[in-house]
Structure 1
Amino acid sequence: MTVESPFPDVSIPDKSLPEFVLDGVPDRGDTPAFIGADTGRRVTFAELRTRVDALAAGLSTRGFEHGDVFAIYAPNLPEYPVAFHGVTALGGVVTTVNPLSTVEELTRQLDDTGATCLLTVPPFADKAAEAADATAIEEVFVLGESEIGTPFPALFDTEVDPPDVVVEPDDLAVLPYSSGTTGLPKGVELTHRNLVANLCQMSGVELPEFDAHDVSIGVLPFYHIYGMNVVMNWHIREGVTVVTVPNFELEPFLETLEEHSVTVAYLVPPIVLRLAQEPVVEEYDLSALSLIGSGAAPLPEEVATACASRLDCLVKQGYGLTEASPTTHFTPRDPDRVRRGTVGPPLPNTECRVIDVETGEDLEPGEEGEILVRGPQVMRGYHNRPDATANAFEDDWLRTGDLGVVDEDGYLRVVDRVKELIKYKGHQIAPAELEGLLMEEPAVADAAVVPKPDRETGEIPKAFVVPDGDIDTDAVKSSVAEHVAPQKKIREIETIDEIPKSPSGKILRRVLIEEHVEGKDDSARLGEPDTR
């Protein structure tokens, strides 16, 4: 069955992304739009508009024009949105790069996009220069003191006005790269219309998400679509001040929340977990915080409840993916509409289906299958990958690759990734279900479950846990077994210092498999008959 949004459709204007986002900026004058948590540098809303225009003019004098690609290889900084919107105002395309990327990874992305300009910061300048030499990059700009490249302020050293450029809604705006949790990252082609549509959809939920006095924290990386559109762009559009955090460390993060009286925080589950569990949180005054939004990975119900109770604030989830700009499901800012463990109903103008993984048949509420979505926020396709684009769609429905269950009211619960299901004696087991149960164990601080090859059964669920003090792994296995069917029992547990995760908080199960499962000698165990 097709699940439609409970919210009325919204009108999507035929505007470019910077035109739409910066529309009301001059009216907000000297109110800070972005504040650097580490440097104190500020960009007011009025300055943001002026600097975007100046940057567009500076780039045009260097020959940068409509359709050219500009790479940003930097952490969250107040200048990030200036560069981002200066480029897109010219009809250029921004490709955002993970600042933790190696030279090889950076080179691969620059080469795939054909980028001609690159913006970075001094700590990454050497890597940027090396990658530039191997690709089509014509000029490297550096934000800060560096002997490499052109100083970023040089782009503003011009007295010409920005050129009049016609940017069509269906022009390509950004090329972020998917997280690559199951393979090499792919460039995702998102148009101005895709991104503008998603901003309109999020604002079109019945209750307003923000008020005029809200202050948000920009800890989600702006290179990632969640930080880029949900935090950076949406907050500019709504007039919310963002305090930028270049990298996450718990105590400086807490200091920033307290110092700036942050009221709204869009986070990922690992940060929400630490807010719920870490004793040091009690040392900070977080009373201004009224809303935490969580996305990028499923947030266990018990973690959301613990965090909300501890901080006395609303904790709610949304759902989306890079290929959908990113949001497809959203919970209104209304305690009575929050259903813990779910990501809310579809956004306005968005439809959702859940299909059987094996047969492709539509499923009914309460039945688990792959999530498909359709709406104006869905990508144009994968860059230079027509094969991957074809595989991502069923007619005009985007196959998310995620497993989920919809209830009778259209609220979606995300279960796991289809490709990460564990196949045990023909049964399909979702690792996230077992991870949620492990996280309820007092002796477990963090957990991940992966498939381990087994001669008799195909695969068995193997857990990796980060202990919280002393741990009896046999007792943990027995406790989890009490809550699941026999085929879902965890068969092995290994302790580990840290669970590898992407910057958006997704568990990198392939890393655990490569480093701790593949290549191990299981001949003795595999030779035993299966009695499980």
Structure 2
Amino acid sequence: MASTTTPAIEIPTSSVYDYLFGSLDESDLGRIALIDGTSGAETTYGQLVGQVNALAGALAARGVGVGDVVAVLCPNVPAFATVFHGILRSGATATTINSLYTADEIVAQLTDASATWLFTVSPLLPHAAAAADRLGFAADHLIVLDGADGHPSLRDLLSEGEPAPDVQFDPAEHIAVLPYSSGTTGRPKGVMLTHRNLVSNVAQCREAIGLGADDRVLAVLPFFHIYGMTVLLNYALAGRSALVTMPRFDLTEFLRIISEYRTSWLFIAPPIAVALAKHPLVDEYDLSSVEVVFSGAAPLDGALSNAVAARLDCVVTQGYGMTEASPVTHTVPVDRADIDRKSIGIPLPNTECRLMDPESGAVIPTPESGLSLPGEIQIRGPQVMKGYLGNDEATASTLDTDGWLHTGDIATVDADGVYTIVDRLKELIKYKGYQVAPAVLEAVLLTHPKIADAAVIGALDEDGQEIPKAFVVLQAGQSLDDTDVIAYVAERVAPHEKVRRVAFIDAIPKSTSGKILRKDLRAAEKASV
């Protein structure tokens, strides 16, 4: 039994460029689209579109178009928007690369995606150049946005005055972007997302989330990640909001930008929510402009959500999705105060959702009251990917023949169609036959006033049986021992869910999108045995 709780909308049949910029009118052209949070430099919508078209023309003049893949290795700066949308406007496919990647990792993605051009910035040039050299890229195929000897700059391309090309393709079939899945459960895979996938998800978000033209949005989540790409770069621009860019997260700079530029929406991942709720530095800045904090990339606990809402006097909400779904599939609408903030909310328009028992394969029905049994959350809708690039086996194991995307996340649903993530299917801990969800224990640990951050994995005891082990980061100047932590959790969970071991560490390893890298903790645990 699949549930859809929001009315369907009409999805435009257009390219990403036409959808985002085709309706710009005179009143929009002078509106601010991008603000460099570091320098304060502003780019209007009129200037942005002019740059996008000029870059598309420069690429077309170099023979780049439908069938070509162009890579982008760049932090969150205003030029990212020009490059990304210029690539799509040219008819080429963009593959966005993690700014923290090593040369080896860049080579792997460029090779897998069959990319033949690479845009980067001078601070990332050493790794980019090493990768390009190993793949035999010509010097003029490595474009350094802010300039570097021997390579074209963005200014060089924009100043050529080449007209944007007349490009024809089917938006439902043509691959717009090739983001790579996080790799937390295996080798990163290229996710084939069409123009229709991206347009669909922005249209769905516009219906469900509520960003407006007068809003200023802090863009700290990386544009190279699908969350930043769709929800910030595309959704905010579609709504004619102003994006304030931030190249990397630094709490002091983050708070300064909010205060100085009066940002009204913050799109974050849970680790930033922890800082907003607990860090003393927050009290030193005027954050009164913040109206909404929207969390994604990993589950946000209800208590943490409430703590941020109380401290900032704002609405805190969250959404859910994955790269393979462009990414958003669920959200708690800002105006739905009746929905528990620990949930991921309801499906977006045009999105079907069902829960499936991971052992029996049976669909779990939505209950008439209370909560359903937990099951794997599965999605079907226009935002779901075509598949993984060159990997039919992985595609078949994730996307079934009926179009259902198997997320690997375990959730429950209530009688109102509200979904709550329990944990990852592959990360559930089996303690004496009971299933223990790490996210539940992490949420409890984060309520302790002396704990700054935490993660839980399954570890083996002396008998080789799996037990919950907590990795804990203490607040500065605080002290606890493992007995304190174990007792604190034991008072708040069922007996089989108790933490059995504790390790104190300096930082929880996390991906750039904010997901806990439990595989790194498991590797460290294995090495210590």
Q: Which residue of 1 aligns with 2:73?
A: 73
Partner of 2:106: 106
CA distance in structure 1 between the partners assigned to 2:150 and 2:485 by the alignment? 54
Which residue in 2 is equivalent to 1:472?
Answer: 481
Per the alignment, in what secondary structure is the counterpart of residue 455 of structure 2? strand
Q: Distance in 2 between matches of 1:347 and 1:364?
A: 19
Q: Distance in 2 between matches of 1:159 and 1:475?
A: 67
Q: Secondary structure at the match of 2:14?
A: coil
Q: Matches of residues 72-471 of structure 1 in structure 2 within 5 Å?
A: 72-135=72-135, 137-138=137-138, 139-169=141-171, 170-205=173-208, 209-365=210-366, 366=371, 367-395=373-401, 396-454=403-461, 456=463, 458-468=465-475, 469-471=478-480
CA distance in 1, matches of 2:137, 2:419: 43
C-alpha distance in 1 between matches for 2:86 and 2:25: 16
Question: 1:53 — aligned with what?
Answer: 53
Secondary structure of the 2:468 match is strand
CA contact 1:115–1:137 (8 Å) conserved in 2? no
Query: Which deviates more, 473-482 or 312-321?
Result: 473-482
Q: List runs of 5+ in structure 2 lacking aligned partners.
A: none
Which amino acid in structure 2 is aligned with residue 160 of structure 1? E
* Matches of 1:506 and 1:157, distance apart in 2: 40
Give the 3 Å change call, closer, same or farther, for CA 137–338 of structure 1 in structure 2: farther
In the alignment, is the contact (CA less than 8 A) between 2:274 and 2:452 conserved in 1? no
Q: How far apart in 2 are the matches of 1:240 and 1:127?
A: 34
Q: CA deviation at 1:440?
A: 1.4
Structure 1 range deviating more: 299-308 or 480-489 = 480-489
Kept in 1: contact 2:332–2:341 (CA 8 A): no
CA shift, 1:145, in A, is 3.5
Distance 1:59 1:115 in 2: 14
Which letter does structure 2 place at the counterpart of 1:14?
T
Name the CA distance, whole Å, in 1 between partners of 2:236 and 2:350. 21
Measured after TM superposition, the shift of residue 158 of structure 1 is 2.2
Shift of 1:442: 2.0
For 1:204, what is the secondary structure of its paired residue?
Answer: helix
Q: Secondary structure at the match of 2:267?
A: strand
CA contact (8 A) 1:66 1:90 kept: yes
TM score, norm. by length of structure 2 = 0.95
Aligned partner of 1:417: which letter?
A: R
Matched, 1:503 2:512: yes
CA distance 1:425–1:56, change in 2 (3 Å):
same
Amino acid at match of 1:391: S
SS of the aligned residue for 2:110 comes to helix
Q: Is the 8 A contact 1:35 1:43 kept in 2?
A: yes
1:68-122 Cα deviation digits (max 9, x unpaired)? 0010001001111111111111211000001110001011000000111101000
Tell me if the contact between 1:425 and 1:457 (Cα under 8 Å) persists in the aligned partners: no
Quick one: distance in 2 between partners of 1:285 and 1:358?
A: 51
Deviates more, 1:166-175 or 1:24-33: 24-33
Indicate conservation of the 8 Å contact 1:314/1:335, yes or no.
no
After superposition, the Cα gap between the structure-2 partners of 1:145 and 1:65, relative to the gap in structure 1 and judged at 3 Å, is closer
Instruction: Quote the Cα distance in structure 1 between the aligned partners of 2:294 and 2:389.
Output: 30
Q: Which one of the candidate residues 503, 510, 526 is aligned to 1:518? A: 526
Q: What is aligned with 1:30? A: 30
User: Deviations for 1:197-219, whole angstroms, at most 9, x for unmatched residues?
Assistant: 111111223xx712332111110
Shift of 1:290: 0.5
Instruction: Measure, in 1, the Cα distance between the counterparts of 2:381 and 2:338.
Output: 23
* Cα contact 2:339–2:418 (8 A) shared by 1: no
Q: Distance in 1 between matches of 2:150 and 2:500?
A: 53
Percent of residue pairs identical? 44
Say if 1:35 and 1:78, in contact at 8 Å, map to a contact too.
yes
| Secondary structure of residue in 2 paired with 1:388 | helix
| 8 Å contact kept, 2:302–2:340 | no
Cα distance, 1:134 vs structure 2 = 2.0
Structure 2 contact 380–404 (Cα < 8 Å) conserved: yes
Check whether the contact 1:439–1:445 (CA below 8 A) recurs between aligned residues: yes
- Output the CA distance in 2 between the equivalents of 1:148 and 1:429: 56
Q: Deviations over 1:332-389 (max 9, x none)?
A: 2205244210111000000111111211111234211111011000000011111100
* TM-score normalised by structure 1 residue count: 0.95
Query: What is the alpha-carbon distance in structure 2 between the residues aligned to residue 507 and residue 294 of structure 1?
Result: 15
1:455 is displaced (CA, Å) by 5.8
SS in 1 for 2:406: strand
Inter-partner Cα distance in structure 2 for 1:50 and 1:196: 21
On the 8 A contact 1:225/1:322 being kept in 2, the answer is yes
Contact 1:174–1:190 (Cα < 8 Å) also in 2:
yes
Report the Cα offset of residue 23 of structure 1.
Answer: 2.1
Q: State which drifts further: 482-491 or 304-313.
A: 482-491
How well do the aligned residues superpose, as a CA RMSD in angstroms? 1.4
The letter of the residue matching 2:9 is V
What do the CA deviations read for 1:145-195 (whole angstroms, capped 9, x no partner)? 322522121212323312211132120000001111112211100000001
Secondary structure, in 3 states, of the residue corresponding to 1:462? strand
Aligned counterparts of 1:416 and 1:460: Cα–Cα separation in 2: 16
Q: What residue in structure 2 maps to residue 525 of structure 1?
A: none
- Kept after mapping to 2: 8 A contact 1:466/1:498: yes
CA distance in structure 2 between the aligned counterparts of 1:87 and 1:314, rounded to whole angstroms: 36
Q: How many residues align?
A: 517
Are 2:147 and 2:154, in contact at CA under 8 Å, matched by a contact in 1? Answer: no
The Cα of 1:429 is off from its aligned counterpart by 1.4
Contact 1:53 1:162 survives alignment (8 Å): yes
Deviation string for 1:436-495 (max 9, x for gaps)?
111112221111011112463631111100012111321221221223232222110010
CA contact (8 A) 1:477 1:490 kept: yes
The worse-fitting range, judged by mean Cα deviation, of 495-504 and 123-132 is 123-132
Q: CA deviation at 1:14?
A: 1.0
Tell me whether 250-259 or 337-346 shows the greater mean CA deviation. Answer: 337-346
